[in-house]
Chain A
Amino acid sequence: MLKIENLCKTYPNGTQALNGVSFEVEEGEFLAVIGLSGSGKSTLLRCINRLIEPTSGNIIWNGDDITAATGKEIRNIRRQIGMIFQQFNLVKRSSVNINVLSGRLGYVSTLPSLFHIFSKEDHERVKKTLEMVGLADKIDVRADSLSGGQQQRVGIARALMQEPKMILADEPVASLDPVLAHSILKYLEKLNKEYGMTVICSLHFLDLVHRYATRAIALNEGLLVFEGMPQEIDDAMFKHIYGKEAERIEII
């Protein structure tokens, strides 16, 4: 279980990205995080694996205090949490193979990995995960020769290499067209349902939230303004989250 307590983040320039956010995530949930751009979604996700240092508050995961972890401990926690990014964050000039293998870095010793030396099991694992995301034939091509949807699947494969217990997805489909959006979210759904991984995913479109999430939270200017079932977000709640001027847009 992931427990966020009174989380605050103030950036050096004075921006208050998170302002006392508290909520809980049960194991095996698919939690959607919604809110306007700049509402603090990305900051929240990055505080969970400490890519961003929270200013105050606690994050407790299965009894471990993530906020108190240091150096090696942080890296051990991070390797159990896969992360998927809006811009895929692949090294474009490296091959798919190396990009996926880099998901294993938290487990291997440093020196061999600096020369791209990995164990046989790790190479087998690459093949398996790439098969799972349907890219087995692309193993040796450079990441930048793939399409956007394919690149995001490589991103998922990289996260899977970590054998994560939880997946953080920061607007994983915001750079993709609607058809591809569904295909990517279906992979996340599969990981959630078949493998029991907890998924925390920030999303822009309510349709996608209704279709995939088991629960949702909403942020507005760093404050938690909603917590509940996706179906509970009606038009009144929508205006509360996104502001009075907002209109709902449907995607296929």
Chain B
Amino acid sequence: MTTQHSKNDSNEFNQKIIPFLSIIIPGSSQFLFKKNWRGFTIFIFSIISGFLIHWGYDKFNIGKVSINADVSFSWLIFPFLFFYFWNILDAFLIQRDKKSPVLLAFFSIAIILYVIGWSVTGVKLDRLITRFDDAKSVMRKLVNPDFFSTEVDGKIEICSWGCLWDYTAAKFTGAQPPEVFLSTNVGQIFGQKGTVTASSWAVLLGKATKNERIPGFETGKIIETIAIGLLATIFSTILAVPVSFLAAHNIMKRIPGGSIVYYISRTILNIVRAIDTIVWGLIIIVWVGLGSFAGVIALTIHSIAALGKLFSEEIEHIDSGPVEAIEATGGNFYHIVRYAVIPQVIPSFLSYTLLRWDINMRSATVIGFVAGGGIGFFVLETIRMGGYQQYAAALWAIAVVIIVVDYISSKWRFNILKDQPKTAAEIPAWKKIRNVIYVIIGIIVFLYAWEIAKIDLTKLFDPGPTFGRLLKDFVSVDLTGKVIDNVVRELIITIMQAFLATTLGGVLAIPFSFLAAKNLTGKNKFSAWIFYIVRSTFNVLRSIEALLYVAIFVYWVGIGPFAGMLALSVTTFALLGKLFSEAIENIEPGSIEAVNATGANKLQAIVYSIVPQIVPPFLSYLIYQWDINIRMATIIGFAGGGGIGLMLSTFFGSLQYHKAGTVILAIVIVIAIMDFSSAKIREKFV
């Protein structure tokens, strides 16, 4: 009895002492009170914000307040101290079974993060206004793409909308129309007659010699892009299937030593996936040289890792019943895989492949920025020469292709995932013939793509002169203080770009997403128009990669992280706008009805019925977008958007592979941490 009593006493004593621990280590007493999440979050954020305040003050004098010549400090200490005292108060309140309001802590941390983010990404709002004329001129060029030309006084000029109007009007009235023809730009994008290097088929048939230039049809850059995306998808799917079995735990634990193989494969997949396609492009061109082949390899490598992960998760989630049944009949390992696993995963594998095709097509439009193939290379050239109307034409072409691909891919995926058993016993003859024709067309398209993407497998065994050095240098990366210092600086800028872009794009997306929700707008003719306009704006903006937008903002606000951040905000706005509006469309009308039935007014209905239903999906999409943006921010620098990408391309360009290796390592670590934490946050809140 006495021991029991003293135990209680010491417990009570502990309970009293615990809150004081938060004075020494923020979050520690929350942790001891079994509020693990709260304690851990407080701890992490006090470390992060403390470090950022010190770092920002040290490097950029962020928030510097000078009292006299000797004494100065950053005013950001005040929100930090506020957070610190909040944490202590919280600890004491938890002891009394209460909590201090999270919103206050949230605001103090937000002030710190936004002030520092604002400074390091060089946000200059004034430029948006002072240089608005530049923006207007680039916008005018964007809506007047170089598709048609006309001849004025013996000089060839771009035929803009006004000129096309005159032309059409003249046609109708029977007057002499001005001469209008397709620009050479169109030929470069879509293809034109010219001279080409003899194809391997022509060489094989003896109609030309190797590398001979013969008259023929020059492939357009957009066609080349389609070929790159298509081939990368085909190759990566074929290679990802075996890889995914190595990375599926339920399969690998069946064979001796399999668990080790599983952990190794999973780790490799995660590392490969953390490095963006564009960065792979930089590495691959050292191996096989510039060209669309390098682009295909870069896309393939990244998508093997992405598909490999998705496929292996799919394998791990199969129904284990059939596996047990095949095992019980005396089947061996291969029988289990063939009869119990493969039939179950086919639909989801196909659907992921189609999704990947969509993603690869988007990557294929920008891989040319570094690898030198496809429309990305063309865009880079036009920007370099200041040909914004040619650039505009390329963007419009990309938008059309991506929207079509997106449509086909999602339609197809929908049909596959329905996965209805066939009702008709026999396949009619016309369907059989149709299937054969599809297969033939597929083979022809594949061979054609192979030809125009200039796939040359022999190049794989004949690596470039510095490739050996690159491999060696990547093993012994440069970890000297100065390099680390610079990498950390660029990384913080990159993360802040993603952070600002996610919030800016997200905040802008919210009001527009309500306009693009069919259950809110689209009820009468006028609002239906709003619905269609906003939705299509989302779709068009979404179809173009952030990297392609950078040029516009560089023109507007100048080279640097601010331009990159704005480009990321555009894609964020478009994707979140679409996802948010779909979330709104999925609201259950029943609950609105129920709230209305209580006699609530419109505003009350929104607060009590709509808001609770859309907050979880909005948060989930925001985290998803954050994951995307952090990856995109690492490459936005390739087009002049600042951040770590610029540094990486400089190191590659000057053959400093030691340092490039450091950057890649840093990117992998940051992406891994971000992925891990966002997965945890999602688990906790969504």
A and B interact physically: yes
Q: B162 contacts the other chain (Cβ, under 8 Å)? A: no
> B330, A78: Cβ atoms under 8 Å?
yes
> B346, A93: Cβ atoms under 8 Å?
yes
Q: B179 contacts the other chain (Cβ, under 8 Å)? A: no
> A89, B327: Cβ atoms under 8 Å?
no
Q: A252 contacts the other chain (Cβ, under 8 Å)? A: no
Q: A49 contacts the other chain (Cβ, under 8 Å)? A: yes
- Knowing A75-B331, A75-B332, A102-B335 are in contact, say whether A90-B325 is a contact too (CB < 8 A): yes
Q: Name which of A103-111, A197-205, A216-224 contacts chain B.
A: A103-111
The chain A residue sitting closest to B328, CB to CB, is A83
The chain B residue sitting closest to A93, CB to CB, is B343
> A102, B329: Cβ atoms under 8 Å?
yes
Give chain A residues whose Cβ lies under 8 Å from the Cβ of B422: 142
Q: B419 contacts the other chain (Cβ, under 8 Å)? A: yes
Give chain A residues whose Cβ lies under 8 Å from the Cβ of B331: 75, 102, 105-106
A198 to chain B, nearest CB (A): 16
Select B326's contact among A102, A107, A145, beta carbons within 8 Å. A102
Q: A113 contacts the other chain (Cβ, under 8 Å)? A: yes
Select B324's contact among A51, A76, A105, beta carbons within 8 Å. A51
> A114, B338: Cβ atoms under 8 Å?
yes
Interface centre among B330, B338, B422 (most CB of A within 10 A): B330
The chain B residue sitting closest to A144, CB to CB, is B421
Q: A79 contacts the other chain (Cβ, under 8 Å)? A: yes
Give bound CA distance, A75 to B335, whole Å: 12
Select A85's contact among B321, B338, B343, B421, beta carbons within 8 Å. B321
> B335, A105: Cβ atoms under 8 Å?
yes
Q: B344 contacts the other chain (Cβ, under 8 Å)? A: yes
Select B343's contact among A91, A155, A168, beta carbons within 8 Å. A91
Give chain A residues whose Cβ lies under 8 Å from the Cβ of B526: none
Q: Identify which of residues 409-439 in chain B touch chain A, using a CB-to-CB cut-off of 8 Å.
A: 419, 421-423, 425
Give chain A residues whose Cβ lies under 8 Å from the Cβ of B217: none
Give bound CA distance, A176 to B236, whole Å: 44
Q: Identify which of residues 316-356 in chain B touch chain A, using a CB-to-CB cut-off of 8 Å.
A: 319, 321-322, 324-332, 334-335, 338-340, 343-344, 346-347
Select A78's contact among B322, B329, B346, B423, beta carbons within 8 Å. B329
> B330, A102: Cβ atoms under 8 Å?
no
Give chain A residues whose Cβ lies under 8 Å from the Cβ of B347: 93
Q: Identify which of residues 48-98 in chain A touch chain B, using a CB-to-CB cut-off of 8 Å.
A: 49, 51, 75-83, 85, 87-94, 98
> A91, B339: Cβ atoms under 8 Å?
yes
Interface centre among B325, B326, B338, B422 (most CB of A within 10 A): B325
The chain B residue sitting closest to A146, CB to CB, is B421
Q: Identify which of residues 333-385 in chain B touch chain A, using a CB-to-CB cut-off of 8 Å.
A: 334-335, 338-340, 343-344, 346-347
Give bound CA distance, A8 to B334, whole Å: 30
Give bound CA distance, A81 to B327, whole Å: 11
> A145, B322: Cβ atoms under 8 Å?
no
B657 to chain A, nearest CB (A): 44
B342 to chain A, nearest CB (A): 9
Give chain A residues whose Cβ lies under 8 Å from the Cβ of B423: 145
- Knowing A91-B343, A142-B421 are in contact, say whether A51-B335 is a contact too (CB < 8 A): no
Give chain A residues whose Cβ lies under 8 Å from the Cβ of B321: 85, 87-90
Give chain B residues whose Cβ lies under 8 Å from the Cβ of A162: 329-330
Select A90's contact among B322, B334, B338, B421, beta carbons within 8 Å. B322
B208 to chain A, nearest CB (A): 41
Give bound CA distance, A85 to B423, whole Å: 27
The chain A residue sitting closest to B335, CB to CB, is A105
A46 to chain B, nearest CB (A): 8
> A113, B338: Cβ atoms under 8 Å?
yes
Q: A158 contacts the other chain (Cβ, under 8 Å)? A: yes
Give chain B residues whose Cβ lies under 8 Å from the Cβ of A90: 321-322, 325
Q: A140 contacts the other chain (Cβ, under 8 Å)? A: yes
Give bound CA distance, A56 to B648, whole Å: 60
> B327, A91: Cβ atoms under 8 Å?
no
Q: How many residues of chain A have a CB within 8 Å of chain B?
A: 41
> A105, B325: Cβ atoms under 8 Å?
no
Give chain B residues whose Cβ lies under 8 Å from the Cβ of A77: 330
> A105, B329: Cβ atoms under 8 Å?
yes
> B330, A89: Cβ atoms under 8 Å?
no
Q: A225 contacts the other chain (Cβ, under 8 Å)? A: no
Interface centre among B327, B332, B347, B422 (most CB of A within 10 A): B327
A161 to chain B, nearest CB (A): 8
Give chain A residues whose Cβ lies under 8 Å from the Cβ of B335: 102, 105, 110, 113
Give bound CA distance, A114 to B326, whole Å: 13
Give chain B residues whose Cβ lies under 8 Å from the Cβ of A140: 425
- Knowing A91-B340, A102-B335, A141-B421 are in contact, say whether A79-B330 is a contact too (CB < 8 A): yes
B632 to chain A, nearest CB (A): 37
> B334, A79: Cβ atoms under 8 Å?
no
B326 to chain A, nearest CB (A): 6
- Knowing A79-B330, A93-B344 are in contact, say whether A98-B324 is a contact too (CB < 8 A): no
The chain A residue sitting closest to B333, CB to CB, is A110
B381 to chain A, nearest CB (A): 49
Interface centre among A105, A107, A162 (most CB of B within 10 A): A105
The chain A residue sitting closest to B346, CB to CB, is A93
Select B419's contact among A78, A83, A93, beta carbons within 8 Å. A93
- Knowing A98-B339, A106-B331, A110-B334 are in contact, say whether A158-B344 is a contact too (CB < 8 A): no
> B339, A51: Cβ atoms under 8 Å?
no
A96 to chain B, nearest CB (A): 11
> A145, B328: Cβ atoms under 8 Å?
no
Give chain B residues whose Cβ lies under 8 Å from the Cβ of A78: 327-330
Chain B 232-266 against A: per-residue CB contact (8 Å), 1 yes, 0 no? Answer: 00000000000000000000000000000000000
Give bound CA distance, A158 to B335, whole Å: 15
> A158, B338: Cβ atoms under 8 Å?
no
The chain B residue sitting closest to A164, CB to CB, is B329
B226 to chain A, nearest CB (A): 32
Give bound CA distance, A90 to B421, whole Å: 15
Give bound CA distance, A142 to B347, whole Å: 15
> A76, B338: Cβ atoms under 8 Å?
no
Give bound CA distance, A80 to B603, whole Å: 70
The chain A residue sitting closest to B318, CB to CB, is A91
> A103, B329: Cβ atoms under 8 Å?
yes
Give chain A residues whose Cβ lies under 8 Å from the Cβ of B334: 110, 114
B256 to chain A, nearest CB (A): 11
Q: Identify which of residues 268-324 in chain B touch chain A, using a CB-to-CB cut-off of 8 Å.
A: 319, 321-322, 324
Give bound CA distance, A83 to B346, whole Å: 26
The chain B residue sitting closest to A52, CB to CB, is B324
Chain B 452-489 against A: per-residue CB contact (8 Å), 1 yes, 0 no? Answer: 00000000000000000000000000000000000000
B336 to chain A, nearest CB (A): 9
Chain A 95-139 against B: per-residue CB contact (8 Å), 1 yes, 0 no? Answer: 000100011111100100110000000000000000000000000
Give chain A residues whose Cβ lies under 8 Å from the Cβ of B419: 93
Give bound CA distance, A76 to B326, whole Å: 13
> B421, A145: Cβ atoms under 8 Å?
yes
Give bound CA distance, A76 to B321, whole Å: 21
Give bound CA distance, A242 to B330, whole Å: 35
B250 to chain A, nearest CB (A): 14
Give bound CA distance, A91 to B347, whole Å: 13
Give bound CA distance, A102 to B422, whole Å: 21
Give bound CA distance, A119 to B334, whole Å: 19
15 interchain pairs (CB within 8 A)? A78-B327, A79-B329, A85-B324, A87-B321, A88-B321, A91-B339, A92-B319, A93-B346, A94-B343, A102-B325, A103-B329, A105-B329, A105-B330, A144-B421, A145-B421
Instruction: Supply 17 further A-B pairs (C-beta < 8 A) apart from A91-B339, A107-B330, A145-B421.
Output: A75-B332, A78-B327, A78-B328, A78-B329, A78-B330, A85-B324, A89-B319, A93-B344, A93-B346, A94-B339, A102-B326, A104-B329, A105-B332, A105-B335, A105-B339, A114-B334, A144-B421
